[in-house]
């Protein structure tokens, strides 16, 4: 029943909310799933985006896709004038 489902769901979600720690659920023969607090999920996504930006910047530096500080300033000013 729906009330049974909600009770089971709360039994899973309440500890996750209280501890702020992810809960990994394994089911035999299937890929596991992870339940985590939305705030923690948002933090993880933000960190991942920052790390990806750093990786992309490192790649740009390695491949010589760089400009001087003055050139970057001029590019920004041109964009602001539009």
Number of H helices, E strands in the chain: 3, 2
Q: What is the pTM of this model?
A: 0.67
For 68-77, what is each residue's pLDDT tens digit? Answer: 999 999 999 9
**The tokens of 33 are what?**
């799933």
Cβ(46)–Cβ(26) under 8 Å? no
C-alpha pair distances (Å), 72 with each of 50, 75, 80: 21, 5, 12
pLDDT of residue 82: 83
For 29-70, what is each residue's pLDDT tens digit? Answer: 999 999 999 999 999 999 999 999 999 999 999 999 999 999
pLDDT of residue 42: 96
pLDDT of residue 54: 98
């Amino acid at each position: 029943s729906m009330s049974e489902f909600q009770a089971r769901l709360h039994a899973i979600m309440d500890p996750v909310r209280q501890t702020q720690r992810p809960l990994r659920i394994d089911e035999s023969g299937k890929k596991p799933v992870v339940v985590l607090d939305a705030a923690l999920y948002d933090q993880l996504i933000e960190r991942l985006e920052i790390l990806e930006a750093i990786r992309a910047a490192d790649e740009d530096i390695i491949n010589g896709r760089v400009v001087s500080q003055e050139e970057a300033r001029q590019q920004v000013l041109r964009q602001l004038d539009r």
